[in-house]
Chains A and B, each alone.
Chain A
Amino acid sequence: AQSVTQLGSHVSVSEGALVLLRCNYSSSVPPYLFWYVQYPNQGLQLLLKYTTGATLVKGINGFEAEFKKSETSFHLTKPSAHMSDAAEYFCAVSRYGNKLVFGAGTILRVKS
C-alpha cells in the first residue's frame, strides 16, 4: 500500500527566504505524486504533479518539486517566500488504478 510522510507539521520562514517542505513516499511501483495547497476555509488546490518524464516539475505560484526515486522523495520548494504563501500544504501519492493517499499536511507560516 502507498503511504506519504511529511516531515514537520509546521514550518516557519521569513518573507523572501527559501521554502522547503519535505515529502517522502512509499510505493512498490512508480508513483504519481502531487502537491496540493489549502487556504483557510477552502478546498484543496493542485500546485503541481509528477506522473512521468522530467523529474523536476514546476507548478503555480513559483513552486517546484523534484522526484528523486533513489530517495523516495518529492520535496516542494520555492526560492522566495511571500506572505500569500501561508497555507497548509499536502503531499499525495497514487499509482495507476489506485486511490490518492494524502500526507498529514504541513502548515507554512511566513513571517514579515
Chain B
Amino acid sequence: EAGVAQSPRYKIIEKRQSVAFWCNPISGHATLYWYQQILGQGPKLLIQFQNNGVVDDSQLPKDRFSAERLKGVDSTLKIQPAKLEDSAVYLCASSLGTGGKSPLHFGNGTRLTVT
C-alpha cells in the first residue's frame, strides 16, 4: 500500500510569514494526525481528525495554527504568522481506528526552518 504522503519536504521562511503543509493519508484510514517534532523531543500531537471532524486540538496554538481536512481525505496545516519557535519537523500520520490500539503510519515529515 502507498504510505502517507507529505509535501514539501523542506521549507525555509522568515518570521511573520505564512506557510502551509499538505498531507495525503493511507487510503481508507479515517483518522489523521498532525504532530510537531522539535529537535531533541518526541512528537507532540497538534490536531487529530476523525474523517473531517476534529477529535482533539487541545495543543494547537489556535492564534496562529489552523488545519482542515476536506472531504475526509487530504489535510493541510497552516501557520500564520510564523515564529522562530515554530522551527520543527511537522509529521502527518494516519490510522484505521481511533480507539488507541491502532498503530500510526507516519509520513516523512516537513522540516520547517523559521529565520
Residues of A whose CB lies within 8 Å of any CB of B are 4, 9, 32, 34, 36, 41-46, 49, 51, 90, 92, 94-105
Residue of A97, A102, A104 ringed by the most chain B CB atoms within 10 A = A102
A97→B100 CA distance, assembly (Å) = 6
CB pair A42 B101 closer than 8 Å: no
| A46 and B104 contact, Cβ closer than 8 Å, known pairs A90-B43, A105-B41 | yes
| Prevailing SS type, chain B contact patch | loop
Contacting residues, chain A, for B104 (C-beta < 8 A): 44, 46, 100
A51→B105 CA distance, assembly (Å) = 17
| A43 and B100 contact, Cβ closer than 8 Å, known pairs A99-B48, A100-B45, A105-B41 | no
Q: In the complex, what residue of chain A is closest to B42 when comparing beta carbons?
A: A102
CB pair A96 B106 closer than 8 Å: no
CB pair B48 A43 closer than 8 Å: no
Q: Which of B18-73 contact A (CB under 8 A)?
A: 40-45, 48, 56
Residue of B4, B91, B99, B103 ringed by the most chain A CB atoms within 10 A = B103
Contacting residues, chain A, for B44 (C-beta < 8 A): 102
B46 to chain A, nearest CB (A): 11
What 0/1 readout, one digit per residue, does chain B (74-105) give for beta carbons within 8 Å of chain A? 00000000000000000101000011110111
| A97 and B99 contact, Cβ closer than 8 Å, known pairs A44-B91, A90-B42, A90-B43 | yes
A74 to chain B, nearest CB (A): 15
Q: In the complex, what residue of chain B is closest to A2 when comparing beta carbons?
A: B100
A51→B108 CA distance, assembly (Å) = 26
| Partner among B41, B101, B107, B111 whose Cβ is within 8 Å of the Cβ of A51 | B101
| A44 and B106 contact, Cβ closer than 8 Å, known pairs A90-B42, A90-B43, A102-B43 | yes
Contacting residues, chain B, for A105 (C-beta < 8 A): 40-42
Contacting residues, chain B, for A102 (C-beta < 8 A): 42-44
CB pair B99 A43 closer than 8 Å: no
Contacting residues, chain B, for A100 (C-beta < 8 A): 45, 100, 104
Q: In the complex, what residue of chain B is closest to A98 when comparing beta carbons?
A: B100
CB pair B40 A104 closer than 8 Å: yes
